[in-house]
Amino acid sequence: MTTQPTADAGMDADGATDTDAVVESGGTAVGRRIVLGVAALGVAGILTGRTLQDRLASVMAPIQNADPTGLTSLIPLGNTFRYYSVTGSVPRPTAENYRLTIGGLVADTKSYTLADLQAMPQTVLVRDFQCVTGWRVPQVHWSGVRLVDVLDAAQATSAATAVRFLSFDGTYTESLTLEQARRSDVLIALQMLGKPVSHDHGGPVRMYVAPMYGYKSTKWLSAIQLTAEVVPGYWETTGDYSIDGFIGASNGRDDDPVG
């Protein structure tokens, strides 16, 4: 999960209140009545089950992505994923042109296609996903390549102590210590929820760092770099989030760890 900055609820970007217009995407206004209507459906979804919640989350994804006010983030969607982006729009590489590069302080720079990653041994994890903002999705099925396997193939130099992750959104970054990155529950995820990682969930390839809050699991993964020290990520520099984002042991939160 990544979270997005929010403006004051109930105001347009210029600070002027408006009784109808809330979000503009491609020149089309999304009205308050629509947002409030979907909010009511969100409550209904919590009461009636996961299927409706998932459908609502899918409907809300493009609206949340274009919402400068933060109002849509207040809509209750229950224990299901939300769509977050810090850039507003994200490129959509195809299976044919996607590349994941491994570089920095390594002896052997690597470049993987999606097919390359799919051909590698896959690890399956069933773990909760915990967002630092409080919501949690239980028992998510994840599948992908253990990060440690890719790091070993690249052969980190003795100067490397940390791993940095870059997103092809052009803005988002995250980091782990090399020790954290070598955990067996840190995946380069190719599948989640029993199917390939969708674009809205950060696909075709994203990170899943099981013991940490969602912001540590970089979406739209494009590059992995070995570095001499931990480089604070997007939310550590703009949102005062903890660099070591362990669930229940950071960010002033006491959530139950996943396991």
Cα 119 from chain centre:
24
CA-nearest of 100, 64, 104 to 80 is: 64
* pTM attached to this predicted model: 0.73
Residue 12's nearest CA partner among 24, 28, 27, 26 is 24
pLDDT of 16 reads 29
| Mean pLDDT, each 10-residue run in order, the chain (259 residues) | 35 30 37 45 44 53 48 50 77 94 98 98 96 90 98 98 97 97 98 94 97 96 98 92 96 91
CATH 3.90.420.10 spans which residues of the chain?
A: 100-238
**If you search the block for the tokens 């009205």, which residue do you land on?**
31
Closest CA to 57 of 150, 151, 160, 135: 135
Q: What confidence score (pLDDT) does residue 80 get?
A: 67
Distance CA 42, CA 149 (A): 41
Verify cis geometry, omega within 30 degrees of 0, for the bond prior to 204. Answer: yes
Question: Is 100-238 in CATH node 3.40.50.1400?
Answer: no
Decide: residue 98, CB within 10 A, 0-12 exposed, 13-18 middle, 19+ buried: buried
3-state SS, the chain, equals CCCCCCCCCCECCCCCECCCEEEEECCEEEEHHHHHHHHHHHHHHHHHCHHHHHHHHHHHHHHHHCCCCCHHHHCCCCCCCCCCCCCCCCCCCCCCCCCEEEEECECCCEEECHHHHHHCCCEEEEEEEECCCCCEEEEEEEEEEEHHHHHHHHCECCCCCEEEEEECCCCCEEEEEHHHHCCCCEEEEEEECCEECCCCCCCCCEEEECCECHHHCCCCEEEEEEECCCCCCHHHHHCCCCCCCECCCCCCCCCCCCC
Amino acid in position 97: N
Q: How far is the C-alpha of 161 from the C-alpha of 163, rounded, in Å? A: 7
pLDDT at 85 (0 to 100):
78
